[in-house]
Amino acid sequence: MPDHIVPLERFHEARRVLEGRVHRTPILSSATAGRVLAAQGVRVADGRVYAKAEHLQKTGAFKIRGALNKMQALSAAERKAGVITLSAGNHAQGVALAAHEAGVHAVVMMPTGAVRSKVDACLGYGAEVILFGEHVGETWARMEDVQAERGLTFVPPFDDPWVMAGQGTVGLEILDDLPDVDVVVAGIGGGALCTGTAAAIKETRPGVRVYGVEPERSNALSLALERGEIVPIQPVSVADGLGAPFAGEWTMAMGRRYLDGIVLLDDPTILAGMRFALERMKQLVEPAGAAALAAVLFGKIPIRDGERVCVVFSGGNVEMGRVAELLAGAAPLEVPPAVG
């Protein structure tokens, strides 16, 4: 694959691999979100904003798609040796379940502050969990040592063509279920979901615009694109699922070719998206999963009158004991009353 670009046929191959093994998540819609935009002077098609509900996916996030596709690509020797990955939680769960289904031993590295429910889920799927480091950068360094010591195969959380092809099947499904979509918005951690989705969509329907959303202090991909090189960071955000310590060669190249823009949000704005999803759409979405919706509601995404907009609810793995605290930290968002 030249120039670190995943071709369209790889997304269709991944879709065949995943058929019957992942949920075909629904497209939800919100007229209330449409009213919020109308109050800002933007009227969306059908008066509704749409959401691809990947928080209802197996493991509670889209990550199982890339993990299953990568597991399928491993050699017999690699499967026998076992795999290793690192993650704040959602990718870890995806790899743990994919490895369990394949009969492969999985070692999962997570920061010490990882959400307990995500740790417990990995253990429940049969993975060996190692907690190390205050942030994912420290975890990554230790993961490399463990990988070398045990001869394990690394399953990257984002910078891998098999993983990206799996995540990009989200885009193919959006086009199936919402063929007249004009704008798609997704959160960015390492960037596999957003850039993979963008590639799958734009190679099929080039006129669709795709935007990414990063936390202000977890902006590895936008920094990499701005500077033309990978920039290590120490991500800090309530949206732990968007906390990649750096972008990668694949996500840089794919982001440069396919994304129409990246916007940055502060934590209170992201949490306002989470609050809106719960109060107005009755969907419990984790902060990382709500970032795309928040960007749309707060007018950060350029939307033309009459366009159809779809955001990706990328995950719903929220530590239940923190829900009230997270909602209390949300920025205020004025919601116009319904008419009639």
- List active site positions: 63, 314
- In DSSP terms, 312 is beta-bridged to 52
Rg (Cα) of the chain, in Å, rounded?
19
**Count of alpha carbons within 13 angstroms of residue 262, beta-carbon side:** 26
End-to-end distance of the chain based on CA atoms, in angstroms? 55
Sheet of strand 261-265, all strands in order from the earlier edge strand to the far edge: 27-30, 49-53, 309-313, 183-187, 209-215, 261-265
The strand ranges marked E within 143-279 are: 153-154, 183-187, 209-215, 261-265
Q: How far apart, in whole angstroms, are the C-alpha atoms of residue 133 and residue 66?
A: 25
Q: How far apart are CA 176 and CA 164, in angstroms?
A: 19
- Is the torsion defined by CA of 57, 83, 242, 179 positive or negative? negative
Distance, CA of 199 to chain centre: 15
Q: What angle do CA 177, 182, 186 make, to 5 degrees?
A: 80
Distance, CA of 44 to CA of 286 (rounded, Å): 25
User: Which tokens belong to 95?
Assistant: 């790899």
